[in-house]
Amino acid sequence: MKTYILLLALVLMVLGGCLKDEGNYDYIDLNEVEEITGIEEFYSITKFEDVLLINPEISYKLGDDDAYEYEWSLSHWEYDDELGERVNYEIIISQEKNLEFVADHTIPYKDLFGQFKVNNTTTGVTYTTNFELRVQNAYQYGYFFLCEKDMNSEMFLIRDNGKTIENLYQTLTGMPLVGKPYCMESIRSGIYNDLVIFTSDGPDYGAVMNFDNMDYKWPAVKCFHEENVGSEPMVVNVCSQPDRDIFTIVNGKYYFTGGMAFGDYKPYIGIDVPAVEENCDYVDEMGMALAYLHTTDEGDLYALGSWGAINKVEIGGETVQLPGTCHFMAPEPGGHMYQGGVNTHFIYTDNDGTVNEMVLHAKLDFSTWSNAYTLARTNVFPAPALINAETKFVNSYSERYFYFSSENKIYRYNYDAPEDAPALIVELPEGQMISYLYLDYIQEGWSKYDDKFVVGTYDNSGTNNGSVYFVNLDGTIDTKHEHVCGKIIDLEVKK
């Protein structure tokens, strides 16, 4: 009993001591973030051009920010084909308090979720503010030139507002466009437009871009089936029809791709290849569901239709032959076989320095759903000295003319006066050689009307030896961009 009383007294003494402890401790007053202002809910910028400036105002409990770090990020959802699900991608764009940001090739053209984080390094507490950012495309419209520069390829853009952009491909993708340029073509691919660029160097041999938003899609090698074209394909000529059938000449061989070929990508070459054993040098569209292919061995002319249809052109049971190298093919403006009219086609070949013109009438026979051909005329071109391997041709959209280049000059040839000498339209500055010729147009409904020439020239001025002239139909020079890019090889226009 005495022992129990003794223990109870000891406990009461200890408790009494605790109750008398007044304490003497130091408490840390945390420097918390009280408010973040100065960040709007929504921003919009143009990729590569606009600078997004955001200077947030942050109020701290203790008035200083020594214990804080900052982070700006952008994120978006995207479907991953390999994973088979939507994945959220986040990109950190700055770790400074004030944001100064230019969207480069790593930023997609989308409405992005933005977030500003303020992190307390002492406590680990993070304060966030969210916003939305719309990234817009500055390159929807304009003249896209494929150029040769320093033995490699480049893209040069003249926007519809007249502003020029050098080295566009590398700016957009972060990658160089290597190899000598061959050609490029815009092709409908599903609901998108693709820009296919062919160059000489592997392993990519160029690139395929989404021509709507100018994003990189694949290397151009994905367009080839190498068992057909070899390991080093040289693309000579490519054209596509409104129904998206694609006709291509690679290493002298003809290839067809149907517009309805589907898969993980849309290969443009090597699908349903018809048997054409001869070497080919030229293929071009004449109208909806009809193109012509010219061979170099016998000069045979083939008619190409939808879904790979191919037949030799015959008149009166005899195969049409045009020996030599084909320079140019053109349809008569306004002709259309499906409307019951007669379509006139003009073909020009060079045989040992003699330039020959053959004019055909092609008409759809509705009883057999095949083309019937008649020969309108053959004649020798009146000025063969003006035409050589460097000559470029364009057909009028609304008149019975075609235009062609000779050194630094542009001439007009009248289809209805084959004996007349071509008329000189314009002579560009001395020393300029025309490397590309395009006839721009104004469109009203389904009809196109001649507007102006877009002319690419080059000289020996150095690296930027390429110039661009916009020339009116009367020969006056509207605008010019001199020594702005490499030698122009091809052009695609977005309006």
> pLDDT per residue over 391-436, tens digit each?
999 999 999 999 999 999 999 999 999 999 999 999 999 999 999 9
Residue 462 sits in a domain of what CATH number? 3.10.450
Residue 435 belongs to a domain: yes
CA neighbours within 13 Å on the CB side: how many for 459? Answer: 12
Quick check: is 290 in a domain? no
What's the gap between Cα 439 and its chain centre? 20
pLDDT of residue 22: 52
Q: How many residues does the chain have?
A: 495
Last residue of a domain, one of 102, 136, 170: 136
CA distance 14 to 18: 6
Host domain of residue 42? 33-136
How far apart (Å, rounded) are the C-alpha atoms in residues 212 and 219? Answer: 17
Amino acid at 167: N
Query: Can you give the CATH number for the domain in which 111 is found?
Result: 2.60.40.10
Please give the model's pTM, rounded to 2 decimal places.
0.81
Per-residue confidence (pLDDT) for residue 315, from 0 to 100: 93
Report the distance separating Cα 183 and Cα 148, nearest Å. Answer: 11
DSSP H helices in 86-181: 168-173
pLDDT at 277: 85
> What pLDDT score was predicted for residue 392?
97
Q: Is 262 inside any structural domain?
A: no
Please check whether residue 5 lies inside any domain of the structure. no
The pLDDT, as a whole number, for residue 10 is: 46
Is residue 316 included in any domain, yes or no?
A: no
- Predicted confidence at residue 334, as pLDDT, reads 61
Cα-Cα-Cα-Cα torsion 138, 143, 144, 149, nearest 10 degrees, comes to -120
Asked whether residue 21 is domain-assigned, the answer is no
| CA 424 to chain CA centroid, nearest Å | 34
Q: What stretches in the chain show pLDDT beneath 70?
A: 1-30, 190, 242-244, 259-268, 270-274, 334-342
Domain ends where: 115, 136, 157? Answer: 136
Residue 51 inside a domain? The answer is: yes
Residue 385 is classified by DSSP as G
Predicted local confidence at residue 264, as pLDDT? 46
The last residue of a domain, from among 136, 156, 175 = 136
* pLDDT for residue 272: 59
Q: Tokens at residue 306, please?
A: 């939808």
Residues whose CB falls within 8 Å of the CB of residue 428, separated by 6 or more in sequence, listed in order: 408, 409, 410, 434, 455, 457, 469, 471, 477
| Rounded alpha-carbon distances, angstroms, from residue 45 to 57, 94, 104, 238, 412 | 22, 16, 11, 36, 45
Work out how many domains the chain is built from and give that number: 2
On whether residue 463 sits in a domain, the answer given is yes
Using CA atoms, how far apart are residues 240 and 348, in angstroms rounded to an integer? 21
